[in-house]
Amino acid sequence: MINPHLDILAFRRSRAVSLVMLLGFVGCASPLDTDHEDIRTIKEQLGEIRVLGESKGLTEGKSLDSILNPDTEDDRKKQDQLQIEERLNRIADLVKPGKTIDLTLQETRRRTLEHNLSIQAVLLDPKIAKQAVRLQQAKFENTFNLSVTQSRTVSPGYNSVARRNIDVESDTFVAVPSVSVPLRSGGDLTIDWTSESYLNSSGGTDSGLAIIQPGVSITQPILRDAGYDYNESSIVIAQAAEAEAEAATQFSILSTLLAAETAYWNVYLATETLAVQKDIYTYTKKTLDDTRLQVNAGFGSISSVYNFEVTLSSTVSNLISAEDNLATAIRNLKSMMQIPELSLDGSVIITPSTKPILRTYDFNTTLLVDAAVRNRADLLELEAEQIAATIEVLAAKNQLLPELDFMASYTLNGFDSNGRSLTTARQDLFDGLRTANEPGFSIGVMASVPLGNEAANANYQSALFSRLQTIANTRQQEVTVATEVLNAIDSLEFGWEQILIARYEVAAANRNLEAMRTLFQMGERNSNDLANAINLLSRARINSATQDSDYQIALANLAAATGCLLGHAGVEWRDASHLELLEAPQTLSPPIPFDVADGIPPASSSKEEAPSATVAPVPVTNDE
């Protein structure tokens, strides 16, 4: 596997050889190499939200149809392969007018990832952290410096021979180009080429001097601030912060996608509830009409008509409430996806086309908890934070040492004392015939020892405590993650039992309604018994839809608890950034200029149509 820091390590080692030859230090392997590898491993686990099935802790069992109708399971599978079951009646035919679009769960995730502004904002965090890494790496960049000065000084003087006052002119030119090379060992190497020329003019007499002095100097800490580990620690800490930012981004994106899935299944529940209320309304209306016919024919009691009228009014109220709940659920889903073409009003109605997953699962709790510990981005974030805390301890320990710096310089000298030519001085630089051109050098050390060293000790102890705190937080989060996984498993097992009970309750309520209707027509039961049977069936069907929806949300929660998503394909989020959405956030269409509950105004119906959704369903295979 290719090490992303190979170039850095190779460059560092080559510079280490030069420094050892210069200062006599003995090099050794750096502990930061392990930290580089750990951060690289964490980053490899980020960038893709994995599929829950990869953990192999969740295996499919029997479907609901195979349990309720075991003899027809094969026939149902063949039928599903030959044709797609007819979709539920579109909501637009049942409630407020407007365009209707079918939306799958997979498309909901994709649209949310592409358009949700909170996701677009959080995607910038890793980019910001990456620039912080570049900033720390830039401290080892070489710097070219240039200082050029041209000056003239005119001073009054006196010529004793001519016995008169004269002007003394002094022209000075100084150019100092240099290159500063920061060393990864903590020192600084400077190479300069100083060029100076001086010209004095007094009473027609000129004298000058040209000097060329190239030199090299080095300052190298020996104890405090010395070594690769200390001077590169800020880079590794920045890289750990980048990994933290990516982990936090992935956790935030997964949470947003989970909220979008929850909103999707809430729309499904609201849709099913509205369909139930519509059926109950139709059934109650027919019962009322039949009862009126019987009373008009001289059979039955008028009180039965009154009773069913009250029941019908209650059914209408429930239907209106179901319509309002559906509008609210659709609006919440739209606000999660934030598709520009879908306004938040009721002009576009969403119909969920992904069917619920109704099958049992066998849970291997050990594998699921292990998968959660590996995949959960919040745990990866804490691991990166723990690496940074460990490096900060090493850096703080270095600051406990006294300051001891080695300093050395070496300078060559070239002179032109007979004229004013820098070229002659440059030629004279390497002329070994003149003893005046001997090079100069300096060497020395500087020491500084704090008395007490309280500040460094305090920083070191603080770094130790911070590291212990991150370790404790990581262990606590591991316990929390395991608890969330086990709770999600329990919720799924409980939800499946509730689904079976709800199916039995619906079947029993249907039988009870048919029996009460027959007995009512025979005069053996009154209208109250039939009305109660209608209400029982309504509650049973709504409860069954609720259990189906809750089971899908529980599945999504289990996947999220393990750091995954349901389906057959993961989610790559690194390339999902769309900065134009943040720069010009026109993500919601303006509301239509009339109340959709009242329909299109007659004056505009011939010229304008209700706003429609231009979002065509994306041809993506349903992965559920």
CA distance 193 to 412: 9
Tokens of 248: 């936090």
In total, the chain counts a number of residues equal to: 624
What is the Cα–Cα distance from 355 to 88, expressed in whole angstroms?
A: 11
The DSSP output letter for 53 is: G
452: left (phi over 0), alpha (psi -120 to 50) or beta: left
How many other C-beta atoms lie within 10 A of the C-beta of residue 294?
A: 15
Per-residue pLDDT at 581 exceeds 60: no
Cβ contacts of 79 within 8 Å, gap of 6 or more:
none
CA distances from residue 403 to 10, 74, 284 in whole angstroms, order as listed: 29, 82, 92
HEC string of 332-357 equals HHHHHHCCCCCCCCCCEEEEECCCCC
Is 268 contained in some domain? no
Which range has the worst mean pLDDT, 43-47, 127-131, 224-228, 491-495?
A: 43-47
Give domain status of residue 493, yes or no.
Answer: no
DSSP secondary structure letters along 258-296? HHHHHHHHHHHHHHHHHHHHHHHHHHHHHHHHHHHHHHH
Calculate the average pLDDT of the chain. Answer: 78
CA atoms within 13 A on the CB side of 54: 18
The structure tokens listed for 540 are 């049973």
Q: Which of 201-215, 246-260, 487-501, 572-586 has the lowest mean pLDDT?
A: 572-586
Give me the pLDDT at residue 209, please: 82
Please count the CA atoms within 13 angstroms of the CA of 375 that sit on its side-chain side.
26
Instruction: Report if residue 445 sits inside a domain.
Output: yes
Q: What percent of the chain has pLDDT over 90?
A: 34
Q: At 394, list the tokens.
A: 């090493």
Instruction: Flag whether 505 is in a domain.
Output: no
Is the pLDDT at 582 greater than 70? The verdict is: no
Looking at the predicted structure, is the pLDDT value of residue 596 above 60?
Answer: no
> Can you tell me the distance from the alpha carbon of 14 to that of 617, in angstroms, rounded to the nearest whole number?
58
Q: Look at residue 540 and tell me whether its pLDDT is greater than 70.
A: yes
Q: What pLDDT shows up at residue 157?
A: 67
pLDDT score at 386 = 92
What is the phi/psi pair of residue 356, to 5°?
Answer: -65, 150
> 125 with 249: CB under 8 angstroms?
yes
pLDDT digits (tens, 9 = 90+) for 148-177: 999 988 877 666 665 667 777 888 889 999
Confidence band (pLDDT; 50, 70, 90) for 49?
A: confident
Q: How much is the pLDDT for 5?
A: 41
Residue 41 — pLDDT band, cuts 50, 70, 90?
A: confident
Angle of helix 454-521 versus helix 527-561 axis, rounded to 10:
150
Would you state the pLDDT for residue 433?
A: 52
Does residue 424 sit within a domain? yes
* In a domain? residue 343: no
Distance CA 336, CA 100 (A): 18
> Residues 610, 592: contact at Cβ < 8 Å?
yes
> Is residue 237 classed as helix, strand or coil in its secondary structure?
helix
**Boundaries of domain holding 180:** 142-230+402-453
pLDDT of residue 597: 33
Percent of the chain whose predicted confidence (pLDDT) is above 70: 76
Helix, strand or coil, per DSSP, at residue 424:
helix
Q: What is the pLDDT of residue 162?
A: 59
More confident residue, 416 or 459: 459
Distance CA(89)–CA(215), nearest Å, equals: 88
Place 67 in a pLDDT band, splitting at 50, 70 and 90: low
Is a pLDDT exceeding 50 seen at residue 296? yes
**All residues at 6 or more sequence positions from 142 whose CB lies less than 8 Å from its CB, including other chains:** 179, 180, 181, 182
CA 563 to chain centre: 13
Of the listed ranges 452-461, 482-491, 506-515, 568-577, the least confidently predicted one is 568-577
Any domain includes 367: no
Supply the pLDDT for residue 404: 93
What digits encode the pLDDT tens for the residues 226-273?
A: 999 999 999 999 999 999 999 999 898 889 999 999 999 999 999 999
Buried b (16+ CB within 10 A) or exposed e, 471-505: eeebeebbeebbebbbebbebbeebbebbeebbeb
Helix 228-296 crosses helix 302-337 at what angle (to 10 degrees)? 160
The three-class DSSP label of residue 144 is: strand
How many domains does the chain fold into? 1
Per-residue pLDDT of 331-372, as tens digits, reads 899 888 887 777 777 667 888 988 898 888 888 888 889 988
What is the chain's Cα-based Rg?
A: 41
**In this structure, how many other beta carbons lie within 10 angstroms of the beta carbon of residue 551?**
23
Which residue from 307, 333, 337, 319 is spatially nearest to 273, judged by alpha carbons? 319
How sure is the predictor about 599, in pLDDT bands with cuts at 50, 70 and 90? very low
Mean pLDDT of 573-591: 52
Q: Look at 425 and 389; give whichever has higher pLDDT.
A: 389
Please give the sequence-ordered ranges of beta strands (E in DSSP) within 128-234, or none if there are none: 143-159, 164-182, 188-202, 205-221
Low-confidence winner among 194-208, 326-340, 396-410, 570-584 (lowest mean pLDDT): 570-584
Q: Give the residue among 164, 558, 617, 611 at the shortest CA–CA distance from 364.
A: 558
**What pLDDT is attached to residue 68?**
67
Average pLDDT of the residues in 25-44: 72
Helices 454-521, 365-375: axis angle to 10 degrees equals: 130
CA dist 306 and 303 (Å) reads 5
Rounded CA-CA distance 415/432 in Å is 12
Longest Cα separation, the chain: 154
Positive or negative, the CA dihedral 583, 587, 590, 591 is negative
Where residue 92 falls among pLDDT bands split at 50, 70, 90?
very low
Q: Which amino acid is at 102?
A: D
At 465-509, the pLDDT tens digits run 999 999 999 999 999 999 999 999 999 999 999 999 999 999 999
